[in-house]
Amino acid sequence: MIAAKLHKLAVLMRQLNLSYIHAPEICSPTIKFGKRVRRNTSTPVIRVYTDESKNKFNEYMLSSPKSEKWKTLLDEQVRRLDIENHLEFRFELEHIDSPFKSVSISKKTAYSKEVFDSLVEKNDPEIKKEHVFDGHRFRSKSEMLIAQFLKSLGLEYKYDVILSFDKEVFYIDFAIYCHETGRFFFMEHFGDMGSERYRQRTFHKITVYTEHGLVEGSDILYTYENNEDNFNLNVYEGKILSIIAAHALDCSK
């Protein structure tokens, strides 16, 4: 299931990137930065080429309001070229059954199945039974949706796992284990970022986690919500799959 999802995601991203970098409204006209020199004074300008072969262009000073739309388009062209130069999805992705054909784990890591099994869940009795799924009671609908997504992928997870750093106890929302990679990672969902007090606690957690070696995007994933009903599971899906993909690549080396 994980392999199929990642394959589908890779192909989709490749198609989106290719359609983006070849978009005619981005590719043309050619826009470049330049300098206008008059009376030994150099002024930065932006040049919009009307006929590049004949080196014909319109020129606008960067401080001119007319240059704003061209600067925006130039930024898009630079981004397009960057995507084109760093596009890592290969054509072969469209013709394979699974990107996980030869994944194997040859050594124990700090994020092994053995360590995952030793993690203890808090099972907080004060959590209301409003959001219940898979034998767990979740503090929010968003966390329940995350758990449902993890379950749909066949990922094993623990909720509200207890960790201690420098005698300070933390309850991390999820520990997520992937059988294909033989590795787990943590996930913290910060669901009330509209609150100043909550934000301060969030920043403290992230600082402590970082100081104790949890690398964001590899060992732990942070997701955010401002408690204004703006939760988008598609965003989280991509982030979760990207971490698993990175672990898979590490395993195959």
Q: What is the pLDDT of residues 92-110, one digit of tens each?
A: 333 334 332 323 323 345 7
Q: Are residues 6 and 122 in the same domain?
A: no
Which pLDDT score, from 0 to 100, does residue 33 have?
Answer: 77
Residue 23 lies in a domain: yes
32 by DSSP, 3-state: which?
strand
Residue 99 lies in a domain: no
Picking from 73, 93, 113, the residue at the C-terminal end of a domain is: 93
Which pLDDT score, from 0 to 100, does residue 137 have?
Answer: 93
Buried b (16+ CB within 10 A) or exposed e, 179-198: ebbbbbbbbbbbbbeeeeee
Q: Are residues 136 and 226 in the same domain?
A: yes
- Averaged pLDDT score across all residues of the chain: 77
Q: Which structural domain, as residue segments, surrounds residue 18?
A: 2-93
Residue 98 lies in a domain: no
Q: Are residues 128 and 86 in the same domain?
A: no
Distance CA 150, CA 83 (A): 30
Q: Are residues 248 and 134 in the same domain?
A: yes
The mean pLDDT value for 69-83 works out to 70
The mean pLDDT value for 63-92 works out to 64
Which pLDDT score, from 0 to 100, does residue 252 have?
Answer: 57
Tell me if 2 sits within 8 A of 244, measured CB to CB: yes
* Main-chain phi, psi angles of 51, to 5 degrees: -150, 95
The mean pLDDT value for 13-32 works out to 62
Q: How many domains does the chain have?
A: 2
* pTM tops 0.75: no
The tokens describing 239, both together, are: 């982030």
Q: Are residues 159 and 184 in the same domain?
A: yes
